[in-house]
């Protein structure tokens, strides 16, 4: 039986200490110092970002992840608790340092990243078991495919177990470069209720660059709903109920970090509230758009009231196919 302290959503996957800056004019040359208005140490990692965004949307969220026994691990834990995220399933791994990313944010250019995997490399499917026993409504795994100890078969078994208990399974991925990703998804997608890749990730997985064909291919592999996001170009959604292309909400772009994770949070919020697919997609698109208006992964993310007001005030083009 669910209690008032149980999470509505368990987010599992990567957590990162992000080092970033306000946009700079150009990337430094060798030996050059380039000034930024501000340097920030913020939370990062797909599951971490989504958990924070879910709390902003008014949902109880827990994070199941691993950090090191170091100052960055303590900062991450403190920041999560300050944001209202339940950290009872945040494990300390004494063998690895906390994962960190240096984000080079050049004005008018895509971000550049320098990353250490750290404790994220130690997360295993069995780490999810206590979190599943907390009776969530949704199990979300973010950053799959870059978590090397997260065995596909073992994770599929957790997804299967979750679905047998009435838990909705949601999956997002990260693909840093060309590799054999498809073999790690074949066993998992049939146990996935919602799959939320972006089109660049899908291209590396499938060798297909068209977002519509990407979504249909993942649907054929077993995922019940597939939404392929395309940043400012919108998204494509495929399920038994509908096949649509959506536009994107126009907002002032400051920093794209965390935009996809915010989209995921908005989508999950729609699932939890029982919204129909079109309304869920609009909410997800609005929350994702809100993220890119500010520096960092969650600073600009709407509250639920703000998101609902934004959706009501701004039409979003939706075309069936």
Q: What is the pLDDT of residues 50-96, one digit of tens each?
A: 999 999 999 999 999 999 999 999 999 999 999 999 999 999 999 99
Q: Hey, what domains does the chain have and what are their CATH numbers?
A: 9-27+37-320 (3.40.1190.20)
Reported as type and span, the H/E element at residue 204 is helix 199-206
Rounded Cα distance, 319 and 321, in Å = 7
Question: Which of 307, 206, 181 lies closest to 249 in space, CA to CA?
Answer: 307
d(CA 192, CA 139): 10
Cα separation of 315 and 247, whole Å?
Answer: 10
CA atoms within 13 A on the CB side of 18: 26
Question: What are 179-193's pLDDT values in tens digits?
Answer: 999 999 999 999 999
Question: Could you tell me the two tokens for 241?
Answer: 């109920």
Please report, for residues 27, 102, 268, the alpha-carbon distance to residue 30 in angstroms, rounded to integers and kept in the order given: 10, 17, 44
Angle, helices 259-272/277-291, rounded to nearest 10 degrees: 150
- At 21 the pLDDT is 86
> What is the edge-to-edge ordering of all strands in the sheet holding 100-104?
39-44, 16-21, 100-104, 112-116
pLDDT block averages, 10 residues each, the chain of length 321: 78 94 91 93 94 98 98 97 97 96 88 91 97 96 96 98 98 94 97 98 97 98 98 95 95 86 98 97 97 85 98 95 94
Closest CA to 56 of 315, 293, 265, 289: 265
Helix (H) or strand (E) holding 305: helix 304-313
What distance in Å separates the CA atoms of residue 45 and residue 294, rounded to the nearest whole number? Answer: 17
Cβ-based neighbours of 266, under 8 Å, separated by 6 or more: 53, 57, 283, 284, 285, 286, 287, 288, 307
pTM: 0.93
């Amino acid at each position: 039986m669910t209690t008032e302290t149980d999470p509505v959503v368990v987010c599992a996957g990567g957590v990162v200490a992000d080092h970033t800056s306000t946009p700079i004019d150009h990337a430094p040359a060798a030996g050059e110092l380039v000034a930024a208005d501000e340097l920030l140490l913020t939370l990062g990692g797909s599951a971490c970002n989504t958990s924070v965004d879910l709390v902003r949307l008014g949902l109880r969220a827990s994070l199941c992840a691993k950090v090191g026994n170091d100052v960055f691990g303590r900062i991450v834990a403190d920041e999560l608790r300050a944001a209202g995220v339940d950290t009872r399933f945040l494990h300390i791994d004494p063998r690895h340092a906390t994962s960190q990313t240096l984000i080079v944010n050049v004005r008018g250019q895509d971000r550049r990243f320098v990353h250490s995997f750290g404790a994220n490399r130690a997360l295993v499917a069995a780490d999810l078991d206590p979190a599943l026993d907390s009776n969530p409504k949704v199990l979300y795994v973010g950053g799959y495919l870059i978590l090397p100890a997260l065995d596909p078969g073992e994770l599929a078994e957790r997804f299967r177990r979750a679905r047998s208990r009435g838990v909705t399974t949601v999956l997002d991925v990260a693909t840093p470069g060309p590799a054999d990703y498809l073999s790690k998804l074949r066993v998992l997608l049939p146990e996935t209720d919602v799959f939320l890749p972006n089109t660049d990730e899908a291209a590396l997985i499938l060798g297909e660059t068209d977002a519509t064909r990407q979504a249909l291919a993942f649907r054929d592999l077993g995922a019940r709903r597939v939404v392929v996001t395309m940043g400012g170009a919108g998204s494509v959604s495929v399920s038994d109920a509908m096949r649509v292309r959506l536009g994107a909400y126009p907002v002032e772009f400051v920093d794209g970090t965390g935009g996809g994770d915010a989209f995921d949070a908005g989508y999950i919020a729609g699932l939890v509230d029982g919204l129909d697919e079109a309304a869920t997609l609009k909410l997800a698109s609005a929350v994702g758009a809100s993220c890119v208006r500010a520096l960092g992964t969650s600073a600009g993310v709407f509250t639920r009231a703000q998101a609902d007001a934004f959706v009501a005030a701004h039409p979003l083009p939706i075309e069936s196919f």
